[in-house]
Each structure stands twice: as C-alpha cells, then as structure tokens.
Amino acid sequence: MVMEGKTMWNEERVKELIDLYRQYNLLWDSRHPDFKNRAKKNEAIKEMGCLLNCESLEVERKIQVILAQYRRTRLKLTNLKRAGATEEEMDKNLWYGYKLLRFLEERSLPDKAMEVSRNKVIKSI
C-alpha cells in the first residue's frame, strides 16, 4: 500500500519486511561473502522493494527504524531482567517484531556457537 510516495507500514507489512530481511543475509551477517559488497547490498534492497511494491529508499529507511526498535526493546528487556522482572512482565514489554529479529543474535556468534544455538532452537520447536 503506497500513499503519496510513502509506504504505509502496518504490522503485517513490517513482519513481511523482517522475513525478507532475514532471507537476504548478506545485509546483516558479517560472515556472508558479500557483506561488504555495497553493490550487491543495494541490489538486495532493490529486490526487496520490488517484492514489497515500494521504493528501495523506503525499504532501507524502514529497516533502520526496525533495527533501532529492536535495539531499544533488547535494552529494555535487559534492564527489566536486571531489575528482577518476571517473564510475564518482560513479555508484556515486547515489541511484536522482537522475536522475529532474534536471528540477528547469531551474527555475532562464532560458527561453533551458532551451530549450538541453532540446535537449541530446533529442539525447542
């Protein structure tokens, strides 16, 4: 849905964008061979724009907004945990996209730790 050159971002579209972002791991995973290739990253953003029917500049801007919201939520949860909040209180403070972006935690893990982390996720499913 586009309105006067700007995309209307409802919860469903944001979730769709997060899913696409996860699929284009060259945008977020520093171990990807093309992570530093700006041309390929721009092409990936352009493809995402086509799939979402909006401008690539708008996609790039929204990704930055989503990542900022993820960082804010992660910090909030860390502070709540330190303050002794219950799981219920922490769940109440979750932004709907937070769990969808948990894949970003893998980007800073060494390969062996990432494999262990993936196995834990698979076992919990």
Q: Which domain holds residue 108?
A: 2-124
Number of domains in the chain: 1
Residue 93: predicted pLDDT: 77
By mean pLDDT, which of 22-26, 28-32, 105-109 is the weakest?
105-109
With 0-12 / 13-18 / 19 or more C-beta atoms within 10 angstroms meaning exposed / middle / buried, residue 114 is: middle
Query: 47-73: per-residue pLDDT in tens?
Result: 999 999 999 999 999 999 999 999 999
Q: Is residue 87 predicted with pLDDT exceeding 90?
A: no
Residue 106: predicted pLDDT: 81
Contacts of 29 (CB under 8 A, 6+ apart): 35, 106, 107
Residue 76: predicted pLDDT: 92
Residue 91: predicted pLDDT: 85
Residue 24: predicted pLDDT: 97
- Banded pLDDT at 5 (limits 50, 70, 90): low
